[in-house]
Amino acid sequence: WDFLILFFCLPVVIFNEITKRRLLGDVSCRIVPFMEVSSLGVTTFSLCALGIDRFHAATSPQASTRPIEQCQSIIAKLAVIWVGSMTLSVPEILLWQLAQDTSHVSGVVTEYCTMKPSSNLPESVYSLVLTYQNARMWWYFGCYFCLPILFTISCQLVTRRIRGTAKSECRGTKHGQCESHLNCTIIALTIIYGLCTTPENVCNIVVAYMSPDMSKQTLDLLNLINQFFLFFKCSVTPVLLLCLCRPLGQAFMDCCCCCCEGCGPDTTSSEGSADSKLKTEMSSSIFFDKPRETPPPLLALGTPC
Q: What is the pLDDT of residue 166?
A: 53
Q: What is the pLDDT of residue 276?
A: 52
Local confidence pLDDT in tens for the 305 residues of the chain:
888 888 888 888 888 888 888 888 888 888 989 999 999 999 999 998 888 887 777 776 655 556 677 888 889 989 999 999 999 999 988 888 888 777 666 667 778 788 888 878 888 888 888 888 888 888 889 999 999 999 888 888 887 777 665 554 555 566 666 777 777 888 888 899 999 888 888 888 887 777 666 777 777 788 888 888 989 998 888 888 887 777 777 777 788 777 666 554 444 444 454 455 545 544 444 444 444 455 555 454 444 54
Contact call for residues 230 and 36 (beta carbons, < 8 A): yes
Q: How far apart are CA 287 and CA 56, in angstroms?
A: 15
The full 3-state SS of the chain, as one line of letters, equals: CHHHHHHHHHHHHHHHHHHCCCCCCHHHHHHHHHHHHHHHHHHHHHHHHHHHHHHHHHHCCCHHHCCCCCHHHHHHHHHHHHHHHHHHCHHHHHHEEEEEEECCCCCCEEEEEEECCCCCCCHHHHHHHHHHHHHHHHHHHHHHHHHHHHHHHHHHHHHHHHHCCCHHHHCCCHHHHHHHHHHHHHHHHHHHHHHHHHHHHHHHHHHHHHHHHCCHHHHHHHHHHHHHHHHHHHHHHHHHHHHHCHHHHHHHHHHHHHHHHCCCCCHHHHHHHHHHHHHHHHHHHHHCCCCCCCCCCCCCCCCCC
Q: Is residue 100 part of a domain?
A: yes
What is the end-to-end Cα distance of the chain in Å, rounded? 40
Q: Is residue 88 part of a domain?
A: yes
Q: Is residue 41 part of a domain?
A: yes
Q: Is residue 289 part of a domain?
A: no
Nearest to 198 by CA among 135, 238, 145, 272: 145
Containing structural domain, residue 28: 1-61+68-164+178-259
Q: What is the pLDDT of residue 265?
A: 46
Q: Is residue 293 part of a domain?
A: no
Q: Is residue 87 part of a domain?
A: yes
Q: Is residue 246 part of a domain?
A: yes
**CATH number for the domain that contains residue 207:** 1.20.1070.10
Q: What is the pLDDT of residue 203?
A: 85
Q: Which amino acid is at 262?
A: G
Q: What is the pLDDT of residue 286?
A: 40
Q: Is residue 240 part of a domain?
A: yes
Q: What is the pLDDT of residue 42?
A: 92
Task: Report CA 15 to chain centroid distance, whole Å.
Answer: 24
- Into how many domains does the chain fold? 1
Q: Which amino acid is at 61?
A: P
Q: How far apart are CA 240 and CA 192, in angstroms?
A: 9
